[in-house]
Structures are given as structure tokens and as C-alpha cells.
Amino acid sequence: MKTIGVLTSGGDAPGMNAAIRAVVRTGIYNQVRILGIKQGYNGLINGNIEEMNLSSVADIIHRGGTILRTARCDEFATDDGLNKALNIIEVFNIDGLIVLGGDGSFKGAKTLSDKGIPTIGIPCTIDNDMGYTDYTIGFYTAVETVVDAISKIRDTSSSHGRANIVEVMGRHCGDIALYAGLAGGAESIIVPEENTDIDAVCRKLIQGRNRGKLHSIIVLSEGVGNAYEMAKEIEEKTSAETRVTILGHIQRGGTPTSFDRIMASQMGYRAVELLLEGKAGRAVGVRQNQIIDLDFDEALSQKRVFRKDMYEIARILSI
Ligand code: ATP
């Protein structure tokens, strides 16, 4: 293993830079050449590749985004695109590849692995939607961003006696809403995994108001319903002025939390170590605070389990 390539793919996630830093520094420490592949699988198809050194990753551990940039690349998912990537891997003498990204990026990594390219995946997505790992890099930073927003919205919500719907990312996975809702003390949390009765949301709002509560925060996962229609319905049923805040892409950026940086450093280190041990076709993850690695097929087939226990605690604590 003389040369390892590293790329970031799919949606960016805070902590990707900390993981890139860990890969580069662990590689160089072990006398391995590290090539940075730009803009995800696009760079692998086009040969947009640069050798990295110790200073290429200086001063990035605290930065959001990814210095390698990221992209979605439909061409890579075609036979033609895959062949182009395999040619570039040969031309640049890449002996192993580390892919940072979500589910889709891992499927791409698996196609390379199936063609005999030693490949390791590091889970990076703010959604926390990968079943084989307790957490993905970027998730806790996104939760912090949402909790910070909830605290600010709560101030104005209390001052005016309004209800506020805070729409967060997570089209198919309610973890951002659940964790941020629990940490932010939201009155209601609406996620794709659980059916929510709007009348129950309204009842809670009215009961809270009757005992003097001034604010009401409803955290809504995007895609579960239309936030503005929901606000209208709540207003009609409770007479509480109801405002909507859609947090959008601010959840993707920002300085990664310590937790994300620590996970990223451990996972980046482990990914290089696995390649040096001759292991390949594996996804790195974390379970019960231990760094683990699983075969791509096994990792990709694990169903995500929604934390119903936490959802129930959030429900009870918000009575
Ligand atoms: P996020 O969770 O943030 O959306 P992701 O990694 O799941 O990240 P995708 O857009 O699904 O993001 O995938 C990123 C890239 O991975 C795609 O643009 C494509 O290049 C590659 N990819 C996705 N699915 C496949 C597949 N089945 N086969 C080959 N390559 C794939």
C-alpha cells in the first residue's frame, strides 16, 4: 500500500475536514503517499487529483465543509463512468481508496471494491441515517445548530406568546428533529418514523397555555408535512399565532463539535490502518463508543433503528 486516494462525496458534513486530516497525517506517518481527489467521484473520473502533504491539512480541523469539495456524480453510477474511474486509479497508481460520504457514496465505493480496488468508507452525513453505525460524522454538529436556533426562537416565542414550527433536515430520518427536540425542550417533535396527530400537538399547546406557558416549539422533520399548512391548522384550532422557521442549509455548515472531530479523527486513522492491514471493502463506524468496521454489504443492509425510547422520553418531558 504505497498510495492512498481520499475523496468526499454526497452532501457535505461538518467534520469531513477533520477526517481528511486524520487520513492524510496517518498515511504520511506510515510513509504512504496520499492523493486528494477533488469533487467526489467527478475527480476520480476526470483525474482532478493532487498529492497532499502535512501542511495541506493544517488549520482545517475546526472548519466545516470539505477542502476536497464534494459533488453528486451521476456518471460514476454508469458502466462508462466506472471504467473511467478505474483507468484513473491505474494511471495515478492508487493502491487504496478512502471514501467519505453517506449511503449513496458507500454504494459507489462498493462498486469499486467489487472491481478489486481496496476501498474503505467513513460515514459522513448530518442525517445520521446509516443503520450500521450509532452516529455519522456531522450529525451532532447539525443537532447543535438546531438546538442553538431553538433557544433563540424560544426567546421570541415566549416574548410574543407565539407557537413556532422549526423545520429541520431529515427527509427520511427524524434523528436531527428527535435529538435537537429533546435537547431543546421542544413541546412536540414530528418525525417520519412516527405518526403524529395534529390534534395532540394542539392539545399540548392549549394545556401549556392554560398553565401559563408562553412558548410552544414544534420541531418538524422536512418532508413529513408542509410547515406552513401545519401552522395554519394549528392557528385555526388553537388561536395561537404560529410562525414557521425553516432552518435549511445552515444545518450543513459551521465548526464541527468536539464529538464530531473526535469521531472523525478516530475513523480517519482507522480507515488508513485497515488498508495497511490489508483489509478492504469495509465501512468504518461507531457502536457503543467503540470504532468498528463491517463489510460494505453488511453495513449497507443494516436497517436503521429509530430511538423510540428517546422519542417517548421527549414526549413525557414535554407534558
Ligand atoms: P447524503 O447522505 O449526504 O445525501 P450520499 O453519499 O448518500 O450523501 P448520494 O447523492 O446518494 O449522497 O451519492 C453520492 C454519489 O455516490 C452519487 O452522486 C454517485 O456518484 C455515487 N453513487 C450513489 N449511488 C450509487 C450506486 N448505486 N452506484 C454507484 N455510485 C453511486
Inter-CA distances, 25 with 55, 67, 99, 277, Å: 9, 15, 16, 17
- Rounded Cα distance, 39 and 61, in Å: 19
- Rounded Cα distance, 66 and 39, in Å: 9
Task: Please list, in sequence order, all residues whose beta carbon lies within 8 angstroms of the beta carbon of residue 242, skipping any fewer than 6 positions away.
Answer: 162, 163, 164, 165, 231, 232, 234, 235
What domains are defined for the chain?
A: 3-138+256-301 (3.40.50.450), 139-252 (3.40.50.460)
DSSP letter assigned to residue 256: P
What are the grid coordinates assigned to 140, written together?
A: 451532532
Catalytic residues: 127
Helix or strand run (H / E) with residue 164: strand 163-168
Q: What is the distance in A from the centroid of ligand 1 to the CA of 29?
A: 31
Tell me the average pLDDT across 57-75: 96
Q: Which residues line ligand 1 (CB under 6 A)?
A: 9-11, 41, 72-73, 76-77, 101-105, 107-108, 111, 125, 127
**Side chain identity at residue 124, one-letter code:** C
The confidence score (pLDDT) of residue 291 equals 98
Tell me the average pLDDT across 33-48: 97
Q: Is the dihedral of CA 60, 61, 64, 68 positive or negative?
A: positive
In this structure, the residue with its CA closest to atom 27 of ligand 1 is 107
Judge whether 68 and 101 are in contact, CB under 8 Å.
Answer: no
Radius of gyration of the chain (CA): 22
Q: What pTM did the predictor assign?
A: 0.96
- Binning pLDDT at 50, 70 and 90, where does residue 306 land? very high
Nearest Cα neighbor of 260 from 31, 26, 16 is: 16
Tell me the average pLDDT across 207-235: 94
- Rounded Cα distance, 300 and 71, in Å: 21
- Rounded Cα distance, 162 and 145, in Å: 22
Test site for ligand 1: of 16, 42, 72, most ligand atoms within 8 A of the Cβ: 72
In this structure, the residue with its CA closest to atom 13 of ligand 1 is 104
The confidence score (pLDDT) of residue 161 equals 86
What are the grid coordinates assigned to 107, written together?
A: 454504494
- Binning pLDDT at 50, 70 and 90, where does residue 223 land? confident
Tell me the average pLDDT across 6-17: 97
In this structure, the residue with its CA closest to atom 18 of ligand 1 is 72
In this structure, the residue with its CA closest to atom 14 of ligand 1 is 10
Test site for ligand 1: of 74, 86, 107, most ligand atoms within 8 A of the Cβ: 107
Annotated binding-site members for Mg(2+): 103
Tell me the average pLDDT across 197-209: 93
* pLDDT tens, position by position, 140-187: 999 999 999 999 999 998 888 899 999 999 989 999 999 999 999 999
Q: What is the distance in A from the centroid of ligand 1 to the CA of 202?
A: 39
In this structure, the residue with its CA closest to atom 30 of ligand 1 is 108
Q: What is the distance in A from the centroid of ligand 1 to the CA of 107?
A: 7
The confidence score (pLDDT) of residue 1 equals 94
Tell me the average pLDDT across 232-261: 97
Nearest Cα neighbor of 166 from 230, 238, 256 is: 230
Q: Quick one: which atom of ligand 1 is closest to the CA of 82?
A: 29
Is 90 exceeded by the pLDDT of residue 77? yes
Instruction: Give me the percent of the chain exceeding a pLDDT of 70.
Output: 100
Test site for ligand 1: of 9, 44, 139, most ligand atoms within 8 A of the Cβ: 9
Judge whether 10 and 40 are in contact, CB under 8 Å.
Answer: yes
